[in-house]
Amino acid sequence: MSTSFLRPTWAALIGAMALLNGCASVSNVDLWPFGSDQPAGRSGPPNATEYQCDGNKRFFVRYADNGSTAWVIYPDREVALTKGATGTRYTNGVAVLEVNGAEASLKDGPNINYSGCKMPAKAK
């Protein structure tokens, strides 16, 4: 095999690696030019309702499909729940979200049991 072929190949490979390494440094930069959908001073996912619960726990809910689906948003994952017949209960067979106005409770398996959950007061 000719070494004249290998030199440009190695140069291209090293150049590509340098470019990819440079991309990693801007991965946490928000490049969306039109601002945020969130109100100022609010953390969490856009278009989601925050619930703060007993024991300093919190979660977010985003409703979809005209309210027939509730996406429960945890720090590490999202879970879709379907509205039950009562209209205040959402479930997927494992997780259960009960919503009563500004109050809610959430049970998801044996480890997640959030009670006394309320929407925080809106900042003025």
pLDDT digits (tens, 9 = 90+) for 60-96: 999 999 999 999 998 889 999 999 988 899 999 999 9
Domains in the chain: boundaries: 49-118
DSSP 3-state assignment of 3? helix
More confident residue, 5 or 121: 121
Q: In the 8-state DSSP scheme, what is residue 123?
A: P
Please, what is the end-to-end C-alpha distance for the chain in angstroms? 73
Give 14's pLDDT tier (boundaries 50, 70, 90).
Answer: low
Which pLDDT belongs to residue 112? 92
| Long-range pairs for 108-115: beta carbons < 8 A, 24 or more residues apart | 108/72, 108/79, 114/51, 114/53, 114/54, 114/55, 114/57, 114/59, 115/53, 115/54
Arithmetic mean of pLDDT, 47-55: 93
**Closest C-alpha among 74, 69, 111, 112 to residue 90:** 69
- Choices 2.40.128, 3.30.1180, 1.25.40, 3.40.50: CATH for 49-118: 2.40.128
DSSP 3-state assignment of 21? helix
Q: What is the pTM of this model?
A: 0.63
Arithmetic mean of pLDDT, 46-53: 92
Residue 41, pLDDT > 50, answer no
